[in-house]
Amino acid sequence: MEQWKLEEITLLQSDIALFLQQLGLDPARIKTVSDFAEHQGACSEEEINFLNARFHRISQLLTSVQR
């Protein structure tokens, strides 16, 4: 895998983990936006969009590597 992709994935994962920790959630237990909604209960559209964007970008990076 190209180094810059690994670095971007790491930054996105760190961003997600910090966000979840600030909400008092365990990042190890949240793997999808659905997990987040289940554990968080009422979530704002901004929170959902934040996570969707980061999970989507990670998925794009991983898909581009697999080709």
> What would the pLDDT profile of 48-63 be if each residue is shown by its tens digit?
899 999 999 999 999 8
State pTM to two decimals: 0.80
| pLDDT number for residue 67 | 62
Q: State which residues form the domain around 37.
A: 3-66
Query: CA 64, CA 21: separation in Å to the nearest integer?
Result: 29
| pLDDT number for residue 24 | 87
| pLDDT number for residue 34 | 86
User: By C-alpha distance, which of 57, 66, 46 is closest to 13?
Assistant: 57
Q: Which mean pLDDT values do the consecutive 10-residue runs of the chain (67 residues) have?
A: 89 94 89 83 84 93 80
| pLDDT number for residue 55 | 92
Q: Structural domain tally of the chain?
A: 1
User: By C-alpha distance, which of 54, 27, 53 is closest to 40?
Assistant: 27
